[in-house]
Chains A and B, each alone.
Chain A
Amino acid sequence: MAKAKFETPAFRDYRDIPAIQPDAMAHSQPFIAKPEHQEPLGFPGELVDDWENKAVAKLGDLLTRYKSLKVFLDSCVKCGACTDKCHYYLGTNDPKNMPVARQDLLRQVYRRYFTLAGRIAPGLVGARDMTREVLDDWYTYFHQCSQCRRCSVFCPYGIDTAEISMAGREIMDHIGVGQKYSNEIIGKVHKIGNNLGLPLPALEATLEDLEEEVKEDTGADVKYPVNQQGADVLLVTPSADFFAEPHIDGLVGYGKVFHQAGVSWTVSSHASEAANFALFIGSYDQMHKIANRIRQAALDLGVKRIVFGECGHAWRVAYSFLNTLAGPWDFLDPRYPVPQHICEFTHDLIQRGALNLDKQANDHMTLTFHDSCNVARASRMGDTPGGQFHIPREVIKASCNKFVEMDPNTTRESTFCCGGGGGLLTDDLMELRVKGALPRMEALNEARDYHGVTHMAAICAICKSQFTKVMPYYGFDMDAVVSVHQLVGNAIQLGTKE
């Protein structure tokens, strides 16, 4: 790859909205999937003949399947309220990264082929034929959307550009123009069971090492079981938790919580991945296949409950879609919601006084919390709206003494994406990732200046990987990002409750 040279954007004075700079990111495209990445998913290996008509036909098909697409393409009034809401626009200044302009890349084709006005007066309503140029724009800018839904919060009709970029990617997959990163990973899940392609022996070895480490550190016999028949809980966690920093410290924490609570649990090698990447490519079929690995695993292992580890997009698919894709869950214990988030699980225990946490264990840190986009705007925790904000914060506050919030315009449902979500966490998009992180980095910087924040906790594997990679560009340490259950794991006093 020709390593794109780029400058890390400077922090803005007063967060002013940048002026548009057309085509500023026109050069940024992820690697295209090769036939060996496409074909296992049932997509054509390369650009098909007559792709123009096939793309339009696929769009027509999706319009009959997705209400979101139909309503969103028809309803935008071009009011401009969303134009300054996307972190990629704020970080790159490319006007095609304004949510409405990104939608328009698809809408122009929709108007041309599916609306009266676009058929008779394309120039008047901004309608365009399906051309190579349009396809290039799609590939470029639908891969500059992390499907974070921030735009949908601020649009008067809730128009969610994530739905549009998913549809765009789905159409492109069907004409043979897929994205290598996502499609290769989905292939690995079908073959092996997780995004990293970790086979069972590697998984067993990793978890054994972990048990030894925890034993050395704490003297306690905390178990990290794989494929354990009859365990109460099936833990489905992002595979990054098995080896990446700081993810693995989170996994250590989950194990300690289960241990102190006396709840038996296991991971499954068949469903050793929480993050369902098929979400990113908008493929219901693929998403269904991957989600049903979890059903299989739950049936095979005879578990009673399913708990998900810290992962944002995973939690969206788990909380919002799992019942749809892989339910009904009538064979599990009806006393618990299916699935549960590990933060819900830990929060319940804390409320019942079942965990002994020593907050002083985290006194070397002043913490803040990054709301992950898909947890914040596409899911919930607990019984009441907003539980997804309150529960992880309660868990953090129970584990440390020093916690402060970042600028409220950048948290909760207004949170800014880390810049690496939605299938963009790949080295071939490094420039985009760094620039897209700008708004979050600005808020963190402010929290550092005013409140002395040293660490930012997160509950998403992508956020954690992305931040470790991009924070150094902005003058932060790469280990300034931590897992929430890392804090819990530090604070928990093993041997005192169990």
Chain B
Amino acid sequence: MSLLTYLYVLLFHAAALIMIVGLARKIWQFATVPAPLKIPTTPAPVTRGGVAMRLLREVALFESLFKSNRWIWIFAVLFHAGLLLVVARHLRYFTEPVWGLVHLAQPFGIYGGMAMVVGLLGLWARRLVVDRVRYISSPSDHLMLALLVAIGVSGLGMTYVVHTDIVQLKAFTLGLLYFDWQPLPGDPLLLIHLGLVAALMIVFPFSKLLHAPGVFFSPSRNMVDNPRETRHVAPWAAPLDTARDR
């Protein structure tokens, strides 16, 4: 097997490790830092089940964003729904035999790829054109969009322009999963695509992509509105109570 294959095997194992460990560490922090006060943005659900529904609506429908800005919402949904379909489609490289649902997702996955790129370009256009959004953008915000667009475009390029050896690629990806290395096809477009994906995995836990786990831990969204019924005290705040007179 070629040096290239070893390089990419190494890259993907490192990227996966960084992403998993980095995310686990972040999620652990998000989960364990206490929220000393009840701060749901009201009106808020008064039960746990209600909160679960609120979070589900935020994650699945981007409810708050919908109320907030219709253009961002449209582009955000195009991008995220597209991304979801693309990921679903890509599962065929990681399952053998391919799951039924993944089969179903195949044609949609391609439209997903297009929607994803259109959504990203829309978001990017806003970032460049709307003075307020331009003002709040750092180079990293543009780079993140560039990275995702490049992933999408190089992927679509392989679907429509220069095909790669899918059978060989699948052997390689399954090999990654089962630690049984197989040669990687050497097409430049594929190498670019995979390199960018590895880069995305590596930056995930160190970037604003943390919004994905973050949304579940946001106290203004995940707290139950029941402060009069249930006393809520953080461990670090409890000693203050013993210090008071009675």
Measured CB to CB, the nearest residue on chain A to B209 is A77
Name A2-59 residues within 8 Å CB distance of B.
Answer: 17, 19-20, 22
Given contacts A66-B33, A75-B214, A80-B130, contact A324 B232 (CB under 8 A): yes
Chain A residues in 8 Å Cβ range of B36: 65-66, 284, 324
Once bound together, how far apart are the Cα atoms of A127 and B38, in whole Å? 30
**A201 interface residue, CB < 8 Å from B?**
no
Question: Min CB distance, B57 to chain A, in Å?
Answer: 11
**A285 interface residue, CB < 8 Å from B?**
yes
Given contacts A66-B36, A71-B217, A78-B136, contact A158 B228 (CB under 8 A): no
User: Are B65 and A125 in contact (CB-based, < 8 A)?
Assistant: no
Chain B residues in 8 Å Cβ range of A100: 136
**B48 interface residue, CB < 8 Å from A?**
no
User: Are A68 and B245 in contact (CB-based, < 8 A)?
Assistant: no
Name A370-413 residues within 8 Å CB distance of B.
Answer: 376-380, 383-386, 388-389, 413
User: Are B206 and A117 in contact (CB-based, < 8 A)?
Assistant: yes
Question: Min CB distance, B9 to chain A, in Å?
Answer: 25
Once bound together, how far apart are the Cα atoms of A117 and B143, in whole Å? 13
Chain A residues in 8 Å Cβ range of B192: none
Once bound together, how far apart are the Cα atoms of A64 and B211, in whole Å? 19
User: Are B231 and A324 in contact (CB-based, < 8 A)?
Assistant: yes
**Which among B42, B58, B65, B211 is the interface contact of A379 at CB below 8 angstroms?**
B42
Name A327-350 residues within 8 Å CB distance of B.
Answer: 327-328, 337-339
**A323 interface residue, CB < 8 Å from B?**
yes
**B161 interface residue, CB < 8 Å from A?**
no
Measured CB to CB, the nearest residue on chain B to A340 is B228
User: Are A80 and B126 in contact (CB-based, < 8 A)?
Assistant: yes
User: Are A384 and B231 in contact (CB-based, < 8 A)?
Assistant: no
Contact with A along B158-180 (1 / 0, CB 8 A): 00000000000000000000000
User: Are B219 and A156 in contact (CB-based, < 8 A)?
Assistant: no
Once bound together, how far apart are the Cα atoms of A125 and B46, in whole Å? 38
User: Which of B85-93, B95-103, B106-114, B233-241 lines the interface with chain A?
Assistant: B233-241
User: Are B219 and A117 in contact (CB-based, < 8 A)?
Assistant: no
Measured CB to CB, the nearest residue on chain A to B131 is A20
Once bound together, how far apart are the Cα atoms of A72 and B139, in whole Å? 20
**B153 interface residue, CB < 8 Å from A?**
no
Measured CB to CB, the nearest residue on chain B to A115 is B206
Chain A residues in 8 Å Cβ range of B35: 66-68
**A160 interface residue, CB < 8 Å from B?**
yes
**Which among A80, A85, A115 is the interface contact of B72 at CB below 8 angstroms?**
A80
User: Are B215 and A156 in contact (CB-based, < 8 A)?
Assistant: yes
Once bound together, how far apart are the Cα atoms of A182 and B105, in whole Å? 58
User: Are A384 and B46 in contact (CB-based, < 8 A)?
Assistant: yes
User: Are A160 and B65 in contact (CB-based, < 8 A)?
Assistant: no
Contact with A along B5-43 (1 / 0, CB 8 A): 000000000000000000000100110011111110111
Given contacts A83-B133, A323-B232, contact A67 B219 (CB under 8 A): yes
Chain B residues in 8 Å Cβ range of A22: 135
Measured CB to CB, the nearest residue on chain B to A153 is B41
User: Are A77 and B208 in contact (CB-based, < 8 A)?
Assistant: yes
User: Are A65 and B231 in contact (CB-based, < 8 A)?
Assistant: no
Once bound together, how far apart are the Cα atoms of A113 and B144, in whole Å? 22
Given contacts A63-B33, A68-B220, A124-B140, contact A156 B43 (CB under 8 A): no
User: Are B132 and A80 in contact (CB-based, < 8 A)?
Assistant: yes
User: Are A385 and B42 in contact (CB-based, < 8 A)?
Assistant: yes
Given contacts A377-B42, A378-B42, contact A125 B30 (CB under 8 A): no
User: Are A159 and B208 in contact (CB-based, < 8 A)?
Assistant: no
Q: Which of B44, B135, B215 has the most CB of A within 10 A?
A: B135
**Which among B26, B65, B135, B227 is the interface contact of A79 at CB below 8 angstroms?**
B65
**A451 interface residue, CB < 8 Å from B?**
no
What are 19 A-B contacts with C-beta separation under 8 Å? A66-B34, A67-B219, A71-B30, A74-B214, A76-B208, A79-B76, A80-B136, A81-B72, A101-B136, A117-B140, A124-B139, A154-B64, A160-B39, A320-B37, A323-B230, A323-B231, A386-B43, A388-B43, A413-B41
Q: Which 4 A-B pairs have the closest CB atoms?
A: A75-B214, A158-B220, A126-B138, A385-B43
Write the residues of chain A forming the contact surface with B, with a CB cutoff of 8 angstroms: 17, 19-20, 22, 63-68, 70-72, 74-85, 95, 98, 100-101, 104, 115-117, 123-126, 149, 152-160, 163, 284-285, 288, 292, 295-296, 299, 319-324, 327-328, 337-339, 376-380, 383-386, 388-389, 413
